[in-house]
Structure 1
Amino acid sequence: MVDRTNRPSALKATDAAGPEAQIDIVGSGASSKVIATLPSGESVEVLLFGATVTSWKSNGGKTENLWLSEKAALDGSKAVRGGVPVVFPVFGPPPKSGHPTSSLPQHGFARTSRWEFLGKSAAEDALGSDSVKLDFGLYSSGLTDEARKAWPLDFGLVYSVTLSKDSLQTVINVRNEGEQSFEFQFLLHTYFKIQDISKVAVNGLLGVTYVDKVLNATEHKQSDNSIKITGEVDRVYASIPQDTTSIVEDGKPRFDVVRDNLQDTVVWNPWIEKAKSMGDFSPDDDYKHMVCVEVGAVQGWQKLDKGEVFEGGQTIRSLL
């Protein structure tokens, strides 16, 4: 195992004893999901299909922080439109040829595979009643025959979701369990729910170089501290020096997104025409009520040799 100094830090434990978080597993088959609720009312829902976080409520359970399409497929028929899909082992369309991911679909197989619920983390009991940590696993042996044929490499993924009163932490652990080294990309495709896109700014990317996919994948440098969404946006910001990207709405802080061992961030909003063209994006005008700020390692490739481990993730703070 490869150790590193910059491991995602566990959320702080509390000394106060009290009621435990409630954990329920509801549904069956591909629509099974795990729901964790804190005694204070905050909750998180994780669909086992894709280990997709489909809901995160803070403020005593009153405030939904994630956008989920009204037509999102929650039956395992396709990737979920909304929430926090897990992108692995390739981001976007794979290389056309000559790469181990070339036979995979866009965004890989993690978001369309059924994960195993591993239960509460062994370290979860130390978190107290103010937090709960859930672990989910996906292994090469659990892939469909089609995915296994397209990417015949041995790996193990453990995805940890930690709910606290005002934050959600999502961390991936990738292990090479085979003899052959492999390369991968990883992204947390987070859809944030906001009130009015015209009043939203994404801050913290000043001076960062980005690839603008709307402008034929040309390269630019962010010249303003605030990114305003006034049309379709699809940008990949790479090698970001600072850890935190913030979403501000109507001049007030709404979310802080803190990256841990991940250097890249995608900012995305489909705007009018693209939203209409996506059959699972609904309502059509809900581009006004969402923005994606997606942390990951997507510029270039992460390489793992036999037995090596990569770990990275994010902590999102709701600032209402």
Structure 2
Amino acid sequence: MGHSAAVWDSRAAIEITKDWNGIEKVVLRNPQGASARVSLHGGQVTSWRNEQGEELLFTSSKAIFKPPKAVRGGIPICFPQFGNCGSLEQHGFARNKIWTIDENSPPLSLKDSQGKSFIDLLFKPSEEDLKCWPHSFEFRLRVSLAADGSLNLISRVRNVNGKPFSFSFAYHTYLSVSDISEVRIEGLETLDYLDNLCGKERFTEQGDAITFESEVDRVYLSAPNVVAVLDHERKRTYVIRKEGLPDVVVWNPWEKKSKAMADFGDDEYKQMLCVDGAAIAKPVTLKPGEEWTGRLELSAVPSTFCSENLDLQGRGF
């Protein structure tokens, strides 16, 4: 394969199989026993497990794993739009299409490949895609699993069009939590946000942390590049680091909306929380030949370790 620059046996670190629909999926492993699973349906991470084998991402028990339906859970890639506007389907079409393994990916920096098992995926628009969104692009996605178990996603979108185009984007990350009422987010205090439950009206966050007791659907603007999600019951903290993604989406559908979604269990809102690195409020514009990069790094650490050692302004990538 040649996809892994890791020091251990790369053939054992990457496994390519097919799901029950015949769609290829890639399993990445690190030497300590952590793993990640990526489906070529949408280029979507559908599983991320720590060294103990605990699942860190939420996927609905009612999720539909058959194109053209998007999978409810994991980390869908929302492109070329997030939300529902214009003629495109909600959250764009990238998450519903079949991607390919990219054997000829341009090299990334050494720090993006060293000591990691990774896979490079590629998505180019079909004739059908160009009819509904007439812009030629190449979307490259690298998913990698580091030696410390952290999950890294690097998206690169290149304009191979003759004219500029704009898009919005999100890594729509479904985190698995013990109980939504026991969870809080740190790092978004005092920020302005657009509230999708109030017609995208702009508010300022007043809490010293974000907690949950009803439906939440917000886009936090100009968010710091490190955000922490603390799960008190599991004594686990998710640390989200991002680059090239100015916004953070926070979403939980709560009870009423959960019951209205066919591919979502009535009570499953208690076990999930979406916290997305995103570029939404100010769409990205690419001139011909230009490329945009958006990175996300997810790690899960014990909360005790986190509160003592996590610098929320934090290290970059």
TM-score by length of 1: 0.85
Please name the residue that 1:4 is paired with.
none
Tell me, yes or no, if structure 1 residue 50 matches structure 2 residue 34. no
Q: Which residue pairs with 1:199 in the alignment? A: 182
| Correspondence for 1:155 | 137
Task: Give the whole-Å Cα distance in 2 for the aligned partners of 1:191 and 1:119.
Answer: 29
In 2 relative to 1, CA 265–30 (structure 1 residues): closer, same or farther, beyond 3 Å? farther
Match of 1:82 in 2: 73
Q: 1:317 aligns with which of 299, 303, 311?
A: 299
Partner residue in 1 for 2:116: 131
- Structure 1: give runs of 5+ residues left out of the alignment: 1-12, 95-101
Q: 1:18-33 counterparts in 2 under 5 A?
A: 18-20=8-10, 21-27=12-18, 31-33=23-25
- Match of 2:98, SS state, is coil
Matches of 2:150 and 2:251, distance apart in 1? 22
Whether the 8 Å CA contact 1:236–1:266 is kept in 2: the answer is: yes
Query: 47, 62, 71: which is aligned to 1:71?
Result: 62
SS in 1 for 2:197: coil
1:7 alignment partner in structure 2 = none
- Which is worse superposed, 171-180 or 28-37? 28-37
CA distance in 2, matches of 1:71, 1:30: 20
Tell me the alpha carbon deviations over residues 116-135 of structure 1, each in whole angstroms, 9 at most, x when there is no partner. 1125965699855x521211
Distance 1:144 1:279, change over 3 A: farther
Q: Which residue of 2 aligns with 1:185?
A: 168
CA distance in 2, matches of 1:319, 1:63: 13
Do residues 217 (structure 1) and 200 (structure 2) align? Answer: yes
2:95 pairs with 1:111: yes
Deviations 1:50-77 (A, max 9, x none): 00100001124x1211000112111223
Give secondary structure in 2 for the equivalent of 1:214.
helix
- Give the aligned length: 292
1: CA distance between counterparts of 2:221 and 2:70? 25
2:26 to 21, 30, 34: 34
Q: What residue number does 1:97 align with?
A: none
Superposed counterparts of 1:242-253, under 5 Å = 242-250=224-232, 252-253=235-236
CA RMSD of aligned residues (A): 2.1
Question: Which moved further from structure 2: 151-160 or 208-217?
Answer: 208-217
Q: Work out the CA distance in 2 between the residues paired with 1:222 and 1:57.
A: 32
Change in 2 beyond 3 A, CA 1:193/1:176: same
Give yes or no for contact 2:130–2:136 (8 Å, CA) kept in 1. Answer: no
Quote the offset at 1:218 in angstroms. 1.9
Distance 1:44 1:281, change over 3 A: same
Deviation sequence 1:3-37 (CA, Å, 0-9, x none): xxxxxxxxxx98xx433343222226663211112
1:290 maps to 272
Pair 1:274–1:247, CA change in 2 (3 A):
same
Q: Which deviates the most, 113-122 or 208-217?
A: 113-122
More divergent stretch after superposition (164-173 vs 285-294): 164-173
Q: 2-side partners of 1:186 and 1:206: how far apart? A: 23
Distance 1:64 1:84 in 2: 13
Q: Deviations over 1:195-243 (max 9, x none)?
A: 1111100110011100111233221101122100101000111112x21
TM-score w.r.t. the length of structure 2 is 0.86
**Equivalent residues in 2 for 1:224-243 (5 A)?**
224-240=207-223, 242-243=224-225
CA distance in 1 between partners of 2:272 and 2:104 (Å): 30
Distance across 2 between alignment mates of 1:220 and 1:49: 36
Distance 1:181 1:227 in 2: 38
Q: Does the CA-based 8 Å contact 1:30-1:75 persist in structure 2?
A: no
C-alpha distance in structure 2 between counterparts of 1:313 and 1:123, whole Å: 12
**Which residue of 2 is the match for residue 255 of structure 1?**
238
2:157 to 174, 177, 187: 174
Gaps of 5+ in 2: 303-317
